[in-house]
Amino acid sequence: MSKSEQTEFVIYRSEVIHPQDHLSNLDILRAAEARNGMLELTGFLSRDHRHFVQFLEGQTEDLTKVMSMTERDPRHHSMKILASGRQDARQFADWDMGFAPVTGDKQQALGCRNATEIRTQLQNAARGGG
């Protein structure tokens, strides 16, 4: 996936319905991986016991389509957009949909300070850096 194309990105937080170890997490990821792969959407999904935080990037039309489907998904609610905009390069070019459950002190990241911090935390998690 080209890293230098202009894309749109969104970061949102929503409230989970199911507990941390619920199988629905896998269903969500499978659906996300399949569709995001086709649409060339990339990003990252994280969750703790209360919240999902997802970073999603791609071409505007595809991003809008998937975001409106995702917003109606009954496995979460109260979606709040934390940041969105255009960017010159993808942040997660290699990820159809990365995932990391978050526990312990990292919960601060999902409690949401600011979008840049969240993105950095997610990138570190995706690279195995914690």
Ligand X SMILES: Cc1cc2nc3c(=O)[nH]c(=O)nc-3n(C[C@H](O)[C@H](O)[C@H](O)COP(=O)(O)O)c2cc1C
CB contact set of 109 (below 8 Å; sequence gap of 6+)? 46, 53, 102, 117, 118, 121, 122
Residue 52 interacting with ligand X (CB under 6 A): yes
In whole angstroms, the minimum distance from the beta carbon of 45 to ligand X comes to 6
101 vs 86: CA distance, rounded Å? 27
Q: Per DSSP, what are the bridge partners of residue 46? A: 53, 100
Selection from 29, 40, 41 nearest residue 98 by Cα: 29
Q: Fill in the per-residue mask, 9 to 48: x = in contact with ligand X (CB under 6 A), - = not in contact.
A: -------------------x--xx--xx--------x---
Please report whether residue 83 would count as binding ligand X according to CB under 6 A: no
Closer CB to ligand X, 54 or 121, in the complex: 54
Smallest gap from Cβ 96 to ligand X, in A, equals 8
Is the CB of 36 or the CB of 121 nearer to ligand X?
Answer: 36
Least distance between ligand X and beta carbon 5 (Å) = 19
Query: Least CB distance from residue 46 to ligand X, whole Å?
Result: 10
Is 91 a binder of ligand X (CB under 6 A)?
Answer: no
Q: Where in the chain does DSSP place strands (E)?
A: 7-16, 42-47, 51-58, 76-87, 98-101
Between CA 122 and CA 65 the distance in angstroms is 23
Q: Which residues bind ligand X (CB under 6 A)?
A: 28, 31-32, 35-36, 45, 52, 54, 56, 66, 69-70, 73, 75-76, 97
